[in-house]
Amino acid sequence: MAALVADKYAKALFQAVQETESLEPVAALDQLNVIAASFDEVPKFYELYISPVVGDKEKKEMLETVFKGKLSPEVYHFLLILIDKQREMYFLEILSIFKKITDEHMKKLKATAITAVPLSEETFAKLQKTLGKLSGKEVELTNKVDENIIGGVQLRMGDKVIDGTLSRQLNLMKDELAQIIV
């Protein structure tokens, strides 16, 4: 349920931002990130924002005190709509989905290369360039180290996983041998 609600609101905000000439999706995302950062810096602020005990009027006054004039009208009014519709508890999920939508719109792709040892700068750059050519998007690549990989690389791009690790190859061989012996 939460994912459906967050998806609906994130898409609605993205559409509203696209329909305005004064705000780009990336700028809206930056503002949403500022809001999330303020929630992280002052956890009590976030607790009050999502609390069912605090009234809508008080929440709106709190937002006005903190954000009025610092956010675009679209983002500010979006926060108010979340309060009116009792959806403020979904803010962080909405932000996450809005970021994915914005990245897709900007033709950006986040990818993670999981390797047994850190990639050299040269290999990292080559892999990032190759993934960019294959996907047709600007790739934001990160490298995570997992010694269990043994060798090779596992790529995670969005919801896709390409596993070219030695540990996977060994597991496949083990499964094939188990079928032959049985």
**How is the beta sheet containing 108-115 ordered, strand by strand?**
138-145, 108-115, 152-157, 160-165
Task: Please give the Cα distance from 16 to 83 (Å, whole number).
Answer: 18
Residue 132 tokens, joined: 């960019």
What is the per-residue pLDDT across 31-60, written as a single tens digit (0 to 9) for each?
999 999 999 999 999 999 999 999 999 999
Task: Please give the Cα distance from 116 to 119 (Å, whole number).
Answer: 9
Asked whether residue 167 carries a pLDDT value surpassing 70, the answer given is yes
How far CA 21 is from CA of 9, 25, 72, 155, in Å, comes to 20, 11, 12, 37
What angle (nearest 5°) sits at the alpha carbon of residue 91, between those of residues 90 and 94? 85
- Beta strands 108-115; 138-145: pairing state: parallel
pTM greater than 0.75: no
